[in-house]
Chain A
Amino acid sequence: MELLRRILGTRDKKSSGKTATQQPTEKRPLSANYDDNLQAFRQVFDLCVDILYREFTINTEYPIRAFIVYVAGLTDYQMISDHLLKTVMQENVTLSQSVHLTKANAQQIILERLINLAETSTTSDLNELIDKVLQGNTVLVLDGSTTAIIAGVRGGESRAIAEPDTEPGVRGPKDAFLESIDTNMSLIRRRIKTSRLKSEKFEVGLLTKTKLAVCYLKGIANDKVVQEVKQRVGRISIDSVLDSNYIEELIMDERFSIFPLVQYTERPDKAAASLLEGRIVIFVDNTPMPVIVPITFISLLQAAEDYYNNTVFGTITRLLRFMALNIALLLPAITVAAFSFHQELLPTSLISTVAGARQGLPLPIVLEVLLIEFAFELLREAGVRLPKAIGQAISTVGGLVIGQAAVAAGLVSPISVIVVAITAISSYAIPNYAAGTAIRILRFILIILAGVLGGVGIVSGLMVILVHLSSLRSFGIPYLSPLAPLSLKDLKDTMVRVPWWDMQMRPRLFAEGDRVRQHPDQGPQKPDKGGQRS
């Protein structure tokens, strides 16, 4: 491990010299000459068919030549035609007779009086103009002026807000995040209408130039954590960011851990709730799943719906999920250990049934369980990757062959199939996908350990997992909190879900400063006492 770290460490040092965080952007001034400017753009965007130019002339007393540059598909053609080209080319419609456009004043008048777009700016730096064009803006360059107008006419195709695919729920809001960072942040702003909701922009990716926003509630989020997040995000130097996982792996506390140290969600309500707890949400452009930090292990077992349903039901659901976690992790391993090492733990009636069923089977139980688990993982992976139409065929074939034929042929015992099936169902009751994958990996290791050493093997494996979990931190927050270190007040919202009127304080773990969530004594009271609420 030490050796590995040393190798990795040296490699880091070597590469850090080569790639800089930012491209060395020198300023490249525009020229006053129309043809030079056009040539400069054409040269930069040589062999880029998606870059479009439109040359035209503003037909005043002294005709002024002009051109616009934009990216096909990233801009709104209607807006370019109506609000940029039309207004500028037909300047005489808007402007009074007394105003005369000349090369000297054209730009200012166009900007101030003609272009009726909400988002405009000017710059004389060619490199900045190129960046702006690539972001979907349209650049207007006039003959004779060394500054150009940037018009915000971003548009193009994007999908509509839909229901969350990966985190569906019965009750609660039904909207989900999209790929566009602006839409996503607006979904949050719709829910949290306070100026204390801050969002700071970053740009990462040398080639992708991906927009990134760090959102938090000032006065509620822990300042130290906010600084830490900003510092870690600012440190990122990578050529591309195509998904929030790039960010996740670059800002994690631990180099190697199979447990997720950040959380994703595609539900705006969940992101908003995290912000209100004092956590930080990192939006990444072109990703429908923002990253939530810091997290605890327990928070991976919580679903947004817990808070929308009856509190007793919410609590029971959480307990159920906790059991599902344990089953998903342990059931096959315990089965293997009990059948091969600790038969005395099984009730007599069960052991005789099982022994009868296992007679004449070719494989020891550990290999049998591993085999079915493996087959199930294959099915699952095939089901995810295949087109939907074929996916169904896979499940039919898999279910029939594994479930029926293997048992009928005497290859595996029905009990192993049942165990694996229950385990599979349980593992999908874990709301967080990344946590589910971690549990799956550990399940295989525990099955092998149970096959070798029985219960001792399982306990050994669990203790190693516990050491690892205890040593993990997510942005400084111990992963196992509020269980270890114990915080009794925060337990209110971990295993159980107390009613809303009892959640008077924000979790101590994340929130700092303004920790009061609501006025106390708002619990439902009997009507005759109703007037006495203070």
Chain B
Amino acid sequence: MPGITAERAKQSAWIATMFASLAGFISLWLVGTLGLRFPRHTLPQYGEILLGKTLGKIVGGAYVLYFLVVNILVIREFSDFLTITLMPETPGVIFNAIIVLIGAYAASKGIEVIARMAQFVLPLFLFPLVLILGMVTPNMELGKLQPFLEGGIAPVIWGSVVPASWYGEIVVLVILLPMVNKPREIKRKGALALLAALFFLTSDTLITLTIFGPDLIGDLLFPFWYLVKYIEFGNYVQRMESLFVLVWMIGIVIKVAFFYYLVCFTTSQVLSLKGYKPILYIAALVQILGATFLFKNTPQLSEFLSHNWPPFGLLFEVGLPLILLAVAVIRRKHARG
């Protein structure tokens, strides 16, 4: 839950996070429809069919950049988080390198391994999340949500931009769709995934809002972390926040591995290489250096995340697929065969 959403939408931030999911559903529909037109092609491939070779390669390259930047942001955000909360004396570059190297190892094993890892850790991830959310419910004060929609609709929409760029990450399906066993079910399954994300994000927002209130959240760097700090259950279950950080790290590693794979795989497709393995090394270097030197400090990063990034993200998540689909419809292009 970004402070920026609460800053803009105040006590209606939870509506903003719900509203933001619209971006995800639109993106999913665009990508799914496009994918069904080209069931055996990834975006760089049908991009070339639709837009011609040069323009197609540029679009493909742009997506490589998008995946790369998302990954760098995730890595940097998490390593800053680790530095601030857990290990203030360790230089961030070490965390960046660790996460990237584990990601590289997983990415080198391919998408199936990453998918299996995700499946394996999902219960380990969901259980603590539900537990945490459940444990803090006694501290909720629903009164903090009032007055309802105080500032009207505009701040809500305005505040939903940042979470919208998160939901929109479902756009990764432009690359994944040809690898899926049952591509016809992708819209349904994708919608389920979005609904799950919607549920957890909204309940997280609701709970942090009702505990800290909208004014405080805007000032907190990591509201959810403070939420975990809040937990006290008996004399023993307290100060769980470092455990939570570690559980979160599991999720981050898998996300980084996944986007790492996307970066390398998409690059190999744009450049028409046989395998993506050679790119692994270059990508590792780019990501470690990018995550370390692109931003000077955490405020700069969060400024970028909440103001500069969302429009770019949404361009790739909704804008480009929309354009591609429009071109496909107008030029009546389908996959050959």
Contact = CB atoms under 8 A, between A and B. Distances in A.
Interface stretch (B67-75, B165-173, B197-205, B246-254): B246-254
Contact of A478 (B110, B114, B116, B257): B116
A345 B113 CA distance: 33
Given A345-B239, A467-B102, A484 B117 contact: yes
A484 B87 CA distance: 33
Identify the interface centre among B90, B105, B116, B235: most chain A CB within 10 Å of its CB: B116
Contacts of A458: 246
A466 B105 CA distance: 11
B86 A455 contact: yes
Contacts of A471: 109-110, 113
A454 interface: yes
Given A466-B120, A467-B105, A480-B116, A459 B86 contact: no
B106 interface: yes
B245 interface: yes
B121 interface: yes
A480 B124 CA distance: 15
Most buried by B among A344, A458, A466: A466
A467 B246 contact: no
A464 B101 CA distance: 10
Interface residues of B, number: 31
Interface string B217-247: 0000000000000000001100110110110
A341 interface: yes
B116 A460 contact: no
Contact of B121 (A341, A455, A466, A485): A466
Contact of B239 (A344, A455, A462, A466): A344
A486 interface: yes
A347 B116 contact: no
A344 B120 CA distance: 29
Contacts of B117: 463, 466-467, 470, 484
Interface in A470-484: 470-471, 478, 480, 483-484
A342 interface: yes
B102 A464 contact: yes
Contacts of B121: 466
Q: How large is the interface on A (under 10, 10 to 19, 20 to 34, 35 or more residues)?
A: 20 to 34
A375 interface: no
Interface in A254-305: none
Given A456-B87, A463-B253, A342 B242 contact: yes
Interface in B82-132: 82, 86-87, 90, 94-95, 98, 102, 105-106, 109-110, 113-114, 116-117, 119-121
A382 interface: no
Contact of B102 (A463, A484, A485): A463
Given A456-B95, A464-B102, A467-B113, A344 B119 contact: no
A525 B182 CA distance: 42
B105 A456 contact: no
A483 B102 CA distance: 22
A470 B114 CA distance: 8
Interface hub of A463, A478, A483 (most chain B Cβ within 10 A): A463
A453 interface: yes
Contacts of A466: 117, 120-121
Nearest to B105: A467
A467 B98 contact: no
A468 to B, nearest CB: 8
Nearest to B254: A463
A345 B244 CA distance: 11
A454 B109 contact: no
A460 B252 CA distance: 11
A342 B90 CA distance: 14
A484 B239 contact: no
A341 B87 contact: yes
Contacts of B242: 342, 344-345, 455
Given A459-B250, A478-B116, A483-B120, A467 B95 contact: no
B86 A463 contact: no
Contacts of A485: 116, 119
A341 B109 CA distance: 32
B104 to A, nearest CB: 10
A226 to B, nearest CB: 24
- The listed residue with most B CB atoms (<10 A of its CB), out of A345, A480, A484, is A484
A410 to B, nearest CB: 30
Nearest to B245: A455
B278 to A, nearest CB: 10
Contact of B249 (A342, A345, A456): A456
A222 to B, nearest CB: 19
Contacts of B236: 347
A342 to B, nearest CB: 5
Contacts of B246: 455-456, 458-459
A454 B98 CA distance: 13
A-B complex: 9 closest residue pairs judged by Cβ atoms: A484-B120, A484-B119, A484-B116, A470-B116, A471-B109, A467-B106, A470-B113, A471-B113, A455-B246
Interface of A: 341-342, 344-345, 347, 453-456, 458-460, 462-464, 466-467, 470-471, 478, 480, 483-486
18 contacts: A342-B86, A345-B242, A345-B243, A347-B235, A454-B86, A456-B246, A456-B249, A459-B246, A459-B249, A460-B98, A462-B250, A466-B121, A467-B106, A467-B117, A470-B114, A470-B116, A480-B116, A484-B116
Given A459-B250, A471-B110, 10 more contacts: A344-B242, A347-B235, A347-B236, A455-B86, A455-B245, A459-B246, A463-B106, A467-B105, A480-B116, A484-B120
